[in-house]
């Protein structure tokens, strides 16, 4: 059979073997750079052989011999891809990036070979035609619908010349997105502020000073180093008394990949936007947004734009008032300039400290990373009975990574969980959840998932353990919610597993977890001072709760500016030929709070939409806030540790993946469709 691996290749390439590791986890200790390209090529060959087996059948196309068989085809390729592309974000180097540029077109071609396989399309079309007579269950119907749409919406019925052009576009887009991401990583890693005068550290908390000293030591420099990684960049912008240095760091951050150098993304983002438009037009859609949003809860660009406008109407007046208050506060402190973007965090923090006697930096002692991890584990134990056991025998791709076995309430193994917390040169910025294997069932066996959380938290220093800010703690909760979506998946087909859901639904499990961050009864479980062991004080908890909505309108407007920019780039109906900086300025204008700074452009480093999966989908973060605020009301009504509510959330949301329509699932959990009211009330934006 063409899908088999010959013994010589098996022997020499660990990616092509059955993994002889605990739980068949990736054998990172055996994998070398030179293994990837041959593994991809062989896995693609195997997968195409499996497709040939489907199309060469003489029997009438049916669900099992066509749709289900197609779902299982390419399992080895999926495994190799999950390992390689995850590492290319979490532990990359120049060689890995070069390999990515070589294998991405191969993978793209493979998926196009499936999409444009006439015999396969005819079989899928026949099954779809017969669907009402096949007695399919809800998940089977969803898989059939998703499979049919993957062909019908993506050009399977197009003339050959159009198919050829779509192939070309897909290949080019895969390369451009990789280059876009590589450029951001390079720009982030290449820039740093070297401080040699201790006076330039004025205002910085000791934790930021220690981290800067540690960063300098890593670079074999004397003094202190500020980088563009979030744990360094954000405290500097918030606390540094040196305005000229805040401006310098801000400009470095907001001009990433927009400096006219080898890492400039200007032309790349234009090409990506225009190629997406061309592909959408070939497929019969006016814009890329129209194409994408057809398969979302929102369904259309009009719905999304109306939603963003409704939020802007509610938040923009309040945000402008917040900005005026910050300007007035600064003036009273002797600041005689207009508040600029690099001043906002600094003076906003001063107001928060004065108004609430609260400095977020002072939350760190109670959020030691190890105790936070234990606390989140305990929360999931109280809600769902989950337990975690570290396994040091499972291979990892970096010494910082730890792996846990996850068990259900009845002691049944349900998942592995990889935790990777700290910044390093080979890791992309931000925080995300991913997986090295999805959950699915095959031949009666429930294949359990291997889930990973990757973050960029403050590293331990020579004098202190890793202590999180309250915001970092909330980020951890967010990503853990995504992880639970994967861990608790209970479906038959990997295509519908875990986070394989509509883009504007995927953030519900993550964002609902953030609500526990301000719950006193939860914080009391684990928030112990790292030096004294004393529980977090009632006063500190009250301050965290009191400041929860501090400048919530500004935060909403900031998110809306990103959402509007995303929608603008992907709503074009003719090729963009304007300067991207001007295009972005126009897109953000309806919610602009600060003057525009010439030479800055967020789009050039907007990896979510140009190198990630959020094109025409960034609004989904705010959309999901509507869902999570409404959903958490059920916990507030019944108790934040209520097992019955948690079980319903698991039954209808976490375990179902994409096996049913998300609104149907939500209504089964909540009993009704969500409204925007709970979110506006939570954020303090609801009119009295």
> For residue 77, what are the CA distances in angstroms to 37, 87, 293?
12, 15, 28
Q: Is 479 a catalytic residue?
A: yes
8-state DSSP, 603: G
Question: Tokens 């603008």 sit at which residue?
Answer: 568
Angle between helices 160-190 and 94-115 (to 10 degrees): 160
Q: Which residues of 419-432 are buried (b: 16+ CB within 10 A; e: fewer)?
A: bbbbbeebbbbbbb
| Beta partners for residue 137, in sequence order | none
- The helix or strand, by DSSP H or E, that contains position 405, with its residue range, turns out to be strand 402-407
In order, the DSSP letters of 432-449 are EEEEEE--EEETTEEE--
Gap between the terminal Cα atoms of the chain: 70
Best CA proximity match to 446, nearest among 483, 486, 478, 492: 492
Pairing of strands 192-195, 224-227: antiparallel
How would you class 195 by CB atoms within 10 Å of its CB: exposed for 0-12, middle for 13-18, buried for 19 or more?
buried
Residue 413 phi/psi, 5-degree rounding, is -65, 130
**What's the token pair of residue 556?**
């909403």
Contact 352, 358 (CB under 8 A): yes
Catalytic residue among 479, 581, 584, 660: 479
Count Cα atoms within 13 angstroms, Cβ side, for 526. 18
| Beta partners for residue 407, in sequence order | 387, 413
Best CA proximity match to 114, nearest among 142, 82, 78, 79: 78
Contact 359, 353 (CB under 8 A): yes
Residue 533 phi/psi, 5-degree rounding, is 80, 0
Provide the annotated active-site residues: 479
């Amino acid at each position: 059979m063409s899908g088999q691996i010959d013994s010589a290749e098996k022997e020499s390439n660990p990616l092509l073997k059955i993994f002889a590791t605990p739980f068949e986890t990736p054998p990172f200790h055996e994998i070398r750079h030179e293994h990837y390209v041959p593994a991809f090529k062989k896995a693609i060959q195997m997968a195409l052989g499996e497709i040939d087996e489907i199309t060469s059948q003489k029997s009438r196309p049916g669900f099992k011999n066509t749709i289900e068989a197609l779902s299982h085809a390419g399992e080895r390729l999926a495994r190799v891809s999950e390992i390689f592309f995850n590492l290319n974000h979490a532990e990359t180097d120049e060689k890995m990036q070069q390999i990515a540029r070589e294998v991405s077109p191969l993978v793209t071609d493979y998926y196009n070979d499936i999409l444009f396989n006439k015999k396969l399309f005819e079989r899928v079309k026949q099954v779809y035609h017969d669907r009402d007579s096949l007695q399919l269950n809800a998940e089977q119907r969803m898989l059939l619908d998703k499979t049919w749409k993957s062909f019908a919406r993506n050009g399977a019925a197009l003339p050959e010349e159009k198919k050829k052009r779509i192939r070309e576009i897909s290949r080019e887009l895969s390369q451009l997105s990789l280059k876009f991401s590589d450029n951001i990583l390079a720009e982030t890693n290449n820039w740093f502020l070297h401080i040699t005068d201790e006076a330039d550290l004025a205002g910085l908390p000791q934790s930021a000073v220690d981290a800067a000293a540690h960063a300098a030591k890593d670079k074999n420099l004397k003094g202190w180093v500020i980088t563009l990684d979030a744990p360094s960049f954000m405290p500097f912008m918030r606390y540094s008394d040196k305005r000229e240095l805040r401006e310098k760091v801000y400009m470095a951050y907001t001009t990433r990949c927009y400096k006219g150098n080898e890492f400039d993304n200007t032309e790349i983002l234009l090409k990506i936007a225009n190629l997406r438009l061309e592909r959408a037009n070939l497929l019969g859609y006016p814009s890329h947004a129209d194409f994408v949003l057809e398969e979302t809860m929102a369904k259309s660009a009009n719905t999304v734009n109306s939603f963003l406008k409704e939020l802007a109407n509610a938040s923009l007046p309040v945000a402008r008032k917040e900005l005026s208050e910050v300007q007035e506060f600064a003036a009273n402190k002797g600041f005689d300039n207009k508040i600029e973007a690099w001043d906002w965090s600094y003076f906003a923090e001063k107001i928060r400290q004065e108004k609430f006697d609260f400095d977020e930096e002072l939350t760190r002692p109670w959020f030691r990373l190890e105790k936070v991890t234990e606390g989140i584990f305990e929360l999931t134990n109280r809600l769902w009975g989950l337990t975690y056991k570290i396994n040091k025998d499972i291979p990892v791709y970096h010494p910082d990574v730890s792996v846990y076995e996850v068990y259900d309430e009845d002691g049944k193994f349900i998942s592995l969980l990889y935790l990777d917390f700290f910044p390093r040169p080979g890791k992309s910025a931000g925080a995300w959840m991913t997986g090295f294997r999805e959950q699915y069932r095959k031949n009666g066996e429930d294949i359990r998932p291997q889930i990973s959380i990757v973050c960029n938290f403050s590293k331990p220093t020579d004098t202190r353990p890793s202590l999180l800010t309250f915001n970092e703690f909330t980020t951890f909760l967010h990503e853990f919610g995504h992880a639970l979506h994967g861990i608790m998946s209970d479906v038959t087909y990997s295509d519908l597993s875990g986070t394989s859901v509509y883009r504007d639904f995927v953030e519900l499990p993550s964002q609902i977890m953030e609500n526990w961050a301000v719950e006193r009864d939860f914080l009391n479980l684990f928030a112990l001072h790292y030096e004294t062991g004393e529980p977090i004080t009632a006063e500190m908890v009250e301050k965290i709760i009191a400041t929860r909505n501090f400048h919530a309108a500004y935060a909403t407007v900031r998110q809306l500016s990103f959402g509007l920019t995303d929608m603008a780039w992907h709503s074009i109906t003719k090729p963009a030929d304007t300067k991207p900086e001007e295009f972005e300025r126009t897109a953000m204008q309806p919610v602009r709070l600060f003057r525009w700074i010439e030479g800055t452009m967020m789009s050039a480093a907007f990896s979510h939409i140009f190198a990630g999966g959020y094109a025409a989908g960034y609004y989904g973060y705010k959309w999901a806030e509507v869902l999570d605020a409404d959903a958490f009301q059920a916990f507030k009504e019944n108790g934040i540790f209520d097992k019955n509510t948690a079980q319903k959330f698991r039954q209808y949301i976490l375990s179902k993946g994409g096996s049913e329509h998300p609104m149907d699932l939500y209504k089964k959990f909540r009993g009704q469709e969500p409204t925007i009211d709970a979110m506006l009330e939570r954020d303090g934006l609801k009119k009295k």
